[in-house]
Structure 1
Amino acid sequence: MMEPLKVMYFSPVAASHGHDEIFAQMALDHKLPDTEVHITSMPETEGRFSHIEFRSYEAMVTRGIIRAARQAAREGFDAFAIGCFYDTALHDAREISGDMVVTAPCVSSCEIAASLANRFGVIVGRRKWVNQMGATVREHGHGHRLSGFYHVELGVTEFQLDHSETERRLVEAGRKAVEEEFAEAIILGCTMEVGFYRDLEKRLGVPVIDPSIAALKRAEHAAILKKQCGWKPSRRWSCEAPPEDEIARIGGFDEGDAFGNRIVVQAADPARSAA
């Protein structure tokens, strides 16, 4: 019997903003029975961020993401998902993560959309995000599949202020993408309330991909492939990790708390499952 998979979903904002409980419910609803998911977040020693919409904020939290990925690898996690659609510090975290697979919402959502449709659109909060997210989609090799970005002019902290208005704007953006620009799937460029994507799918008639679910499921799938097929991350050439003696000499990678909070969504008890 295969050991339970261990996946960590790391939210690069401070735990005090209450996102962890939302992601824990998401994990409970969508993980496989034999997967153990740890929902973690940034310690406030790295900053009291409620979002990282700005590049300067991303630069500030990159250190925390690298520290979290390194600690997760040391704890024996099979896979690690970075919970931001910018895919902040994805390559940096991969470099430091040993045999642990690292993924993030944009690359995961694009891979899933590409398996479901030829063209997809991305609904985003603000026009501010489009330039950077567009570069990320192109970097991941999906630019030719992109019908466009459709912004609703809501920042991360504004999505929860008026749910009916948020829903109206998202539906309007989705209809533009599908009916005017022929998107065959939709990616939500920011996580909404749990399960909202299902309602939007019914209204639009195309697959709608929630990025947090996408990141969790791609991390889980990668963990399965690692255990069953032996497909571990490469650490050669561009993926080469820094030398451990140099890391120790520099300092700052391992000292102090890497996580501000941790919620564990347990794997099913094998004995109970077999009963």
Structure 2
Amino acid sequence: MVKIMYLSPVAHRAGHDDLFADMARDYKLPGTEVHVTSLPEGVGRFEHIEYRSFEGMVTAGIIRATRAAAREGFDALVIGCFYDTALAEAREVSGEMIVTAPCAASCEIAASLSNRFGVIVGRRKWVDQMQATVHALGHRDRLAGFYHVELGVTEFQADHDRTASRLLAAGRRAVEEDYAEALILGCTMEVGFYAEVERQLGVPVIDPSIAALKRAEYGALLKRDCGWKPSRKWSCEAPPEDEIARIGTFDDGPAFGGRIVVAAEDGRSST
């Protein structure tokens, strides 16, 4: 059995975690167990981390959760934010556990399906940071552009018709004006919207939460079947455990605010 943790780097709240648990049931392999978790309120009552200052505040919680997941024996962890918040920091303390995040996973998949992709995002505010991430991942020449719909994270689920209409209009600009051959939905709250946009525009549309889950699952299977584990050489070197113990804050307090377990074989479909 493969064990994956899908960590939402916000405070636990009903409905939010259920959304990703339903996604996991729909898309995980039958032999995969997925734990959908979130951060405790001690980190802060965050509903989103659209701002860099919010990211800074939750980074310690992500590091603490990563270490806790590694101790529990998870094969892979997803940090569920398209900013890929604290991805490098989490990988550094993850031991042999695979760690991925939505932007990295989505770009990798889009690049395997097309030569040129566009990213639909919620607000213009997000573009600068997300563009820097896409460029750092090596996809500068594949990027058709960013297309914002002026909806914040908490607004995507408020009015599904409005959300779908704006996503479709942005996707049409990307495909018909800038010749994007694939699209990425650049927010992990857009679960379920990709299929209709894909149907109408005729190009692959990648939901980032699904992409991150499947990339984590794939990485875990590669580790199990081929023995490919994360490097701990040079820039990937982990901090010494004695220093972590001396500092004394890495593992203090609860790591998770909520947890939904989607058991192996619990799913409505398999791939």
> In the alignment, does 2:29 pair up with 1:32?
yes
- Equivalent in the alignment of 2:203: 206
Shift of 1:184: 0.2
Deviations 1:78-114 (A, max 9, x none): 0000000000000000000000010000000000000
- 1:190 equivalent among 187, 192, 197: 187
Would you say 1:267 and 2:264 are equivalent positions?
A: yes
Q: Does the Cα contact within 8 Å between 1:109 and 1:209 map onto a contact in 2?
A: yes
- What is the CA–CA distance in structure 2 between the aligned matches of 1:51 and 1:199, rounded to whole Å? 25
Mapping 1:145-156, distance limit 5 Å: 145-156=142-153
**What is the match of residue 269 of structure 2?**
none
Contact 1:226 1:232 in 2 (8 A): yes
* 1:163-209 deviation per Cα after TM superposition (whole angstroms, max 9, x unaligned): 21111111100000000000000000013454221111001100000
Separation (CA, whole Å) in 2 of partners of 1:94 and 1:117: 28
Letter in 1 for 2:207: D
RMSD (CA atoms): 1.0
Select between 190-199 and 204-213 the one with higher mean Cα deviation: 190-199
- Partner of residue 106, structure 2: 109
Distance (whole Å) between structure 1 residues aligned to residue 73 and residue 158 of structure 2: 39
Shift of 1:254: 1.0
Query: In 2, Cα distance between the equivalents of 1:235 and 1:43?
Result: 29
The answer as to whether partners of 2:5 and 2:69 remain within 8 angstroms in 1 is yes
Q: C-alpha displacement at 1:142, in angstroms? A: 0.7
Q: Does 1:240 align with 2:237?
A: yes
Kept in 1, the 8 Å contact 2:9–2:38? The answer is yes
**What are the superposed Cα offsets for residues 36-71 of structure 1, whole Å, 9 maximum, x if unpaired?**
000000100000000000000000000000001111
Three-state SS of the structure 2 residue aligned to 1:44 is coil
Q: Which residue of 1 aligns with 2:139?
A: 142
1:1-275 superposed matches below 5 A:
4-16=1-13, 18-268=15-265
Aligned partner of residue 42 in structure 2, secondary structure = helix
Does the Cα contact within 8 Å between 2:82 and 2:103 map onto a contact in 1? yes
% identical equivalent positions: 74
C-alpha separation in 2, matches of 1:216 and 1:5: 12
Once the two structures are TM-superposed, the CA of residue 19 in structure 1 deviates from its matched residue by 1.2
Aligned-partner residue type, residue 132 of structure 1? Q
* Equivalent pair of 1:17/1:50 in contact (CA under 8 Å): no
Counterparts of 1:268 and 1:151, CA distance in 2: 38
Matched AA of 1:149: F
The 8 Å contact of residues 120 and 167 in structure 2, kept in 1 or not, is answered as yes
Shift in Å at residue 17 of structure 1? Answer: 5.6
- Per-residue deviation, 1:145: 0.3
Which runs of 4 or more aligned residues in structure 1 lie more than 2 Å from their structure 2 counterparts after TM superposition?
A: 191-195
Aligned 8 A contact 1:178 1:184 in 2? yes
TM-score in terms of structure 1 length: 0.95
Does the residue aligned with 2:83 lie in a helix, a strand or coil? coil
CA distance in 1, matches of 2:115, 2:172: 17
Task: Give the number of aligned pairs.
Answer: 266
Q: Secondary structure at 2:238's aligned position in 1?
A: coil
- Take 1:268 and 1:168, find their aligned partners in 2: how far apart are those partners? 35
Q: CA deviation at 1:252?
A: 1.1
In the TM superposition, residue 256 of structure 1 has moved relative to its aligned partner by 1.5
Letter in 1 for 2:211: A
Q: What is the CA deviation profile of residues 222-258 of structure 1, one whole-angstrom value per residue up to 9, with x for unaligned ones? A: 0000000000000110000000011001011112210
TM-score by length of 2: 0.96
* 1:46 match: secondary structure: coil
